[in-house]
Structures are given as structure tokens and as C-alpha cells.
Amino acid sequence: MHTGQIVGGRYRLEDRLGSGGHGEVWRAADLKLHERPVALKRTRYDGDDSGADRVRREAETLSRINHPHVVAVSDVVDDGGEVWVVMEYVAGRPLSEIGRVSVEEAARYGAQLAGGLEAVHAHRVLHRDVKPANILVTDDGFAKLADFGISRPLHNDETVTATGALTGTPGYLAPEVAKGGRFTEAADVWSLGATLYHTLEGTTPFGDDNAHALLWKTVSEEVRPPTRAGGMAPVMLRMLAKKPGERPRLREARQELAILAGDPTAGVGPEPSGVPRRPRWVLAAVGAAVVLVAAISTAVWIALDRGDTPGVEASTGSIDGAANAPAPSVAGESDGIIGDPVTADPCALLDVEALGAFGLTRVRTDHAELNRCDVVVTSNDSAVTAVSAKIWHNNEDPAEPNRRVGGITVVDEEDDMPEECSRALFLPGGDYNISLDAEVEAGEVDDLCALADATVNQATTVLNDGQLPRRERTPDPASLYTQSACDLLAGEPLERLPGVVADRPTVGFAEWECKWGTDDGKELTARFQFNDPLSEDSGERFVLSGHEVFNEGDSWTATSCLVSIVNRVAVSADGDGDIVAELVRLHLEADGDESVDELCDVLLDIAQPVAARLPAVS
């Protein structure tokens, strides 16, 4: 690469701004737009086609984000076998080079960045490395979120621990992620709080130290009390809360910071549009590195025959993507393929033998949803991928483009998912679809779609042959497989929710999820899930009718409460010795001024008769 070189027949390289092991960035002139300055990032992806495709997909995802405080991605160019990403050129310097600033200036930067990060999250993208070095500030005080790490950012501070690779920078990495937990939008909020702490105090919330020491302090110590934060301390410290559920939503943080900055409109951008149909998080920052996810690796697929649920009217809609669509008046063709939803076996849709070509395989039958089955594939380089089949009850129409395999419509959905590849299979009649997903759980996998495609033939063959096979094992009578979420809440439990529209529930697959609205805009959800066993760290613990109940507060969203009832805790039937908890999740979302504590009080009241209806704890 040299000054004056033309890239893609359009961009003239003018000045190299930086370089690293995974790419280099140049200032360039756009020859088609009056030599407008742009930033070009030359990416490195080990020369394989799948790596180049991944870069293009990530660039396409990021190009949809339109916000004044996010560096824009405008183009991706192939030139001489190399892939270049074209970005907005920002004349400024990193926030890390500015030094300590006043409370008002820090609040202004914080409001701007919170607004930008909110726009990023609206497109189901996680930054995963928010820190001062990844924020550009113009001479007139305009902060922009940068470096989403297409094929890895230029800085080289990925953290490697004894348990694997963690994405992010020590000192700016949320405690739950530093422990190997799942990265969520709340982790980005924590990183932004740590960045604001640096602008005021000149250091991370745990001081300056080596990477391993900072990780240890993040997990085991409290944030150092700020000395220069003034009126900004309360909102900043809430952003730095140890528990993700105690952190503010970005919109709330932006509003508070904007008021402190004396500019209520700071950080406001255009309303987001074009959000994916079924939201999934795109792991965008630090390229292909993957946060370790602690997954339950367990349990029991079983065969049972549950009759119609008494006391609950027929569904007036479906949960999985068509919240208010009317149920068909007669059984559709897809009903004949699914049969009794409770006994339909999603494991029959996965081709374990074909997936064995990619590494060692094991079947995982009780991870997250009850309507799901996984084949976990561990490759020779220890990368771990979960290939899952999930059955959904909805009335969605297949997206374009699509293809037909017999009577099944197949839609490829990999474009929006840099760290996940999906295939959606739509059954004739339009009442059900199948989601086949390949998702990285640890390490790096270059061609996720090859794993998803490896089981498409099996799934379409099974679905075209007739009724989906039944589960192979008889359930424990105490299992949630034998229960109906709608039934559990019918009658007395629903009567404890003022204004509930009890006779028009929205019913999910096999009645393992049920939703009700209220006349003042609340939404109550009852959902069955598998999870790691809960502890008092999960929330305030109660015992109702012999069942443990945990008030997890606003751990899902800031305007809701989550209460989890433990149906039972058992050893996995998959034979791996793991312990798994079956949970009844009660979630109440508000659309008014109710506090989280008020919502939780209502849910705990509802939980009493629900716990009494569950099988007795042995």
C-alpha cells in the first residue's frame, strides 16, 4: 500500500492513519464525490473466502446505523483480493488523548455517546469494546462512537484468561463478562460508564494496573469512589452497578446526562428503522473474537400426551412473531406435520451424523426453550458451536428470496448475523415454522452456514415425509413438559392483576408460553424455561408452597419485573452430570409510571397461587 494508490477504482489513498496485526486504516479521497475525505480500513482475514464474506456481512450490518454520534460505514470494496471498508472520516482525536475534562463536558460526551449506543442497540448490534480509545472527538466537541472492529480493531488488547478469550479491554469490561458471562446491552452500558469515569478521573474505575489485575479487581472489588464527578456521580455509578439489572437503560442515562450538560437534546438522533424481523444480537466488536457464554449442557427430551387445556379459550394469536394474528378456524396443513405440539421432537430435525464431519458432537436437550434441541459441535481447534432446531407457532410469511424443497419453504437468514447463521423453514399452511441456527459459543468458526446447511436436508426430508417424530422418553410427571402456562395462571392468579383481559391470551408453542394484556397497557407473560440453578445472587428469595421463588427485579428490562418460580432442579438426562433448573418465569412489563417495586409486588402476589398449582417438591 502506498500514498496515491487507487482502491476499487474510486478511492485514492492519502495518509496512513494507523496499522495493526489485523488491518490498517488510511485517509483517502473519494474521487466520485469531489474528493470527499473518507477513512478506508484494509481488513485482514487470513485470505479465506468465508472470512471475506464475514467482513462484508459485518459492514452491511453496520451501514444500517444512522446516528450523528456513530462513525458511519458507507461502502465495502474488493480490490486485488483484499477487502476494504469505507467509513466516515472524522477529523479529531481519541477521547483517550484529551485528558480529564469538566463535569459538564463529560456529561455532554456521555449523552452523545449514550444516544449513539442506543441507536446501535436498536439494530441489534453490540459494540463490546466501548472505551476512550474507541471514541473520536472533533475540535468542536462532537463525540463519535468508533471501531466496531470489522475483522478486529487496530488496538491489540484482547484479553486471554485461563478459561479462554474475552472480548474487550480490562478496566472497561463489565464484571459479568470478565467472569465469562454473556455479553448484553447492559455490558455496553457498563463500559460507557467506565469511559465517562476515565474522562473525569483520568483512570479506569479500578485504577491503572496490568490486564490480569484489572480483571481480578473488576470481578472482586467495588468501583473506586469518584472524586471529581460532582453531580454526575449518581448516574455514572448506576451505569457501573455490579448487577446488569441495576444499570439504567441508555435512553434514561442519555436524558440524565443531557440535563447535566445543560442541553436536553444532546445525543438525540433519528428514530431507528429497519430493525430485523426477529431480533437477535450481532456480536460486532473485536471482529471474530467471541465472548465466553456459560451454557447449560443438559437434559430430557420426552414423549407425552397432554389433552386440550381446560379453562382457557382457543388462542387468539401466536407469540413467536405474530402477536395478534388470528388463529385459523380449521387445522392447517402444518398442524398435520407437527401433530401434538407437546410431543413433537425438534431433535429429529438435526443431522448428528452430518454435523460429526465438523467435530465431536453431543445432543443438548434442555437449553433455554422447551421447544428446542441442540447439537453442540466441538472442532479440532476447540471452537464450540451450537446447532439448534426450534419450533415456532406463528403466521409469518416467508421472506424473499426463498426456495422450495418439496412442500417446505426455506429462507437463508445469514446476512444479518455475523456470529450466527440461520435457516428458517416454513411449513405449508402457514401456522408453524422451524428455525435452524448455528451459533458460536466459544472460539472462532469461519463458516457457520456450513453447519446450518448440514442439517437442512435432514429437516426438510423429515418434514416432507409426514408427521414429525415424537419424543422418545416418557416425562417425569413433575416436569414442566406436562404443564400449560395458560392453565397455571387461569382463574385466581390472573384475578390478582388489575384490569387484565383474561379471556384473550396470546398462546405460544405447546402452551409453554402465554401472554395477557391489561386495559392500562401492561403485559404479563408466563414462560417455561431451563436455566442454571438460581441462588440468592439472582434476587430476593422466598419459599411459596414448597417452591423457591426469586424476585429478579428489572433484570430483563428497566420498566419491568421478573419473578422466577423453581418447579424442580434435576440432574440432566443427557448423562453429562449437569444440574438444570426448570423455571416458571413471570414477567410484567409496564407502560405507565409504576415503579419496578410495584410491579414486583403484583408478580409476587400472582406467584403464590401459581406455586401452589405446581407439582409438590420431592
Q: β-strands 408-412, 420-426: how paired?
A: antiparallel
| Helix (H) or strand (E) segment spanning residue 540 | strand 540-544
In whole angstroms, how far apart are CA 507 and each of 323, 524, 562, 565? 9, 12, 19, 20
Q: HEC states along 153-190?
A: CCCCCCEEECCEEECCCCCCCCHHHHCCCCCCHHHHHH
Rounded CA-CA distance 60/468 in Å is 37
Alpha helices in 437-481 (DSSP H): 448-454, 456-465
**Is 532 an active-site residue?**
no
Query: Do 312 and 487 touch, CB atoms closer than 8 A?
Result: yes
| SS3 state at 494 | helix
Angle at 189 between CA 176 and CA 244, to 5 degrees: 40
Q: One-letter amino acid identity for 329?
A: S
Query: Do 550 and 563 touch, CB atoms closer than 8 A?
Result: yes
Residue 51 half-sphere exposure, CB side, CA atoms within 13 Å? Answer: 17
Rounded CA-CA distance 172/187 in Å is 10
| SS3 state at 483 | coil
Looking at the DSSP bridge assignments, the partners of residue 527 are: 513, 585
Query: Do 284 and 130 touch, CB atoms closer than 8 A?
Result: no
In whole angstroms, how far apart are CA 61 and each of 39, 274, 286, 419? 18, 11, 15, 12
- Catalytic residue from among 30, 49, 75, 129: 129
- Which residue, among 232, 509, 142, has the nearest Cα to 344 in the 3D structure? 509
Query: Do 438 and 420 touch, CB atoms closer than 8 A?
Result: yes
Looking at the DSSP bridge assignments, the partners of residue 551 are: 540, 563
Angle at 580 between CA 578 and CA 582, to 5 degrees: 165
Q: β-strands 384-393, 6-7: how paired?
A: unpaired
Give the contacts of 440 (CB within 8 A, at least 6 positions apart): 290, 383, 384, 385, 419, 420, 448
Query: Do 296 and 70 touch, CB atoms closer than 8 A?
Result: no
* DSSP state string for 371-434: TEEEEEEE-TT--EEEEEEEEEE--PPPPSS-EEETTEEEEE-GGG-TTEEEEEEEPTTSSEEE
Helix axes 103-122, 250-261, angle to 10 degrees: 150
Q: Please identify every residue annotated as catalytic.
A: 129
